Amino acid sequence: MKKIAFFLSVCSIIFFQSCKEHPLAVSKIEGKEIKVTDSIASNKELDEFIAPYANHIEEEMSATLAYAPKALAKSDAKYNTAIGNMEADAVMEMLQPIFVSRIKDSIDGVLLNYGGIRSTINQGNVTTKTGYNIMPFENEAVVVRLSAETMQELFNYLAENQTAHPIAGMQLILNKDGSINKATIQGQRLNKGNTYYIATNDYLQQGGDHMDFLAKTDTIINMDYKLRNLFIDYFKKKDTIAPVRDERFIKLEK
C-alpha cells in the first residue's frame, strides 16, 4: 500500500508539474442556438407555481399613481419638451431636501439626457409601469460640483448639440445662428470663482453622451436613489402629471 501511495504521489507531482510547464488552453468553443417559441409546450405545474408571483407583480405594476391629461413625448419639440421638463423638475424636487439635509447646501441645477427618455407617457392613468417604461435602466442619481468654467462647457455643449436634453434650474437662450445669447443658473449669470452643484445620473457623470465635462469635478455625491424609483415616488406625490414647455431652453427666431 505504501508503494502504491508513493507511486500515486509521484504521478500527481509529475502531472501538476507538466501542467505548469505546458498549461492547458481552450482549443475550440462550440455553441448551439435553441430558439424559445410558443411551439414549446408549457409546464402546467411550473405555470401554477409562478402564477401567484406573476399576478402580484402585475398588480403592483398596474397600480395607478397619478393621471396625465394628455400624452407626453420627447419628440414634441426641439429644445425643451414637457416630458423632459417634468423629469428634470422631478429630480430637482425629490433630491433637493435629501441633499440639503446631507450636505447643508442646495442643488443649483439638473442635467439629464434626451436619449434617457425611453418612452412616452400616455394620456390616462400613470402607473408604476410608466416609471419603468420611461426609465428602464438602473441609473443612479448623483450630484457633482462644477466650476464656473466647467459650467460654461455644459452650456456650450447644449448650444452645440441643440437637443432637448432635460434641464432644471438653468436657462439657455440661443441666437438665431446658434450662438449663446444668455446662459444663467438660478437666475444668475456664471460667476468666475463660484462652484455649482448639478444633479445628473451616473451614466452621464462618467462621460455618457459625450458629456465629458461632468467628469471634471472634485466632488461626486451618490444620492442612493435610482432615477426610476425617483420618478415613481414623484408620480405618487402628484395627483396630476401635466408639465408644459417653457423658456428654459429656447432659440430666438430673429
Instruction: For residue 183, give the nearest of 213, 160, 199, 202 by alpha carbon.
Output: 160
**187 by DSSP, 3-state: which?**
coil
Task: Give CA–CA dist 112/116, Å, rounded.
Answer: 7
Other Cβ atoms within 10 Å of 145 Cβ, number = 17
What does the pLDDT read at residue 29?
A: 80
Give the single-character DSSP code of 52: H
Can you give the pLDDT at residue 27? 73
3-state secondary structure at position 201 = strand
* pLDDT at position 13: 47
Cα 68 from Cα 52, distance rounded (Å): 30
What single letter denotes the amino acid at residue 132? Answer: Y
**Architecture label for domain 61-251:** Alpha-Beta Complex (3.90)
Place of cell 393621471: 67
Coil, strand or helix: which one is 182?
A: strand
Domain ranges of the chain: 61-251
* pLDDT, one tens digit for every residue, the chain (254 residues): 544 444 444 445 444 455 555 567 777 788 777 776 767 777 788 777 877 777 777 888 999 999 999 999 999 999 999 999 999 999 999 999 999 999 999 999 999 999 999 999 999 999 999 999 999 999 999 999 999 999 999 999 999 999 999 999 999 999 999 999 999 999 999 999 999 999 999 999 999 999 999 999 999 999 999 999 999 999 999 999 999 999 999 999 98
Q: Which neighbouring-strand residues pair with 185?
A: 170, 188
CB neighbours of residue 148 within 10 Å: 15
The bridge status of strand 220-226 relative to strand 140-147 is antiparallel
What nine digits make up the cell of 12?
500527481
Angle between the 227-237 and 82-103 helix axes, to the nearest 10 degrees? Answer: 100
Q: Give kind and range of the element (H or E) at residue 146.
A: strand 140-147
Residue 127's nearest CA partner among 73, 58, 227, 56 is 58
* Coil, strand or helix at 212: helix
What is the grid cell recorded at 30?
A: 462550440
- Residue at grid coordinates 448639440: 161
Q: Which pLDDT value is given to residue 7? A: 43
Beta carbons of 167 and 249 less than 8 angstroms apart: yes
Q: Please report the pLDDT score of residue 35 as a whole number.
A: 74
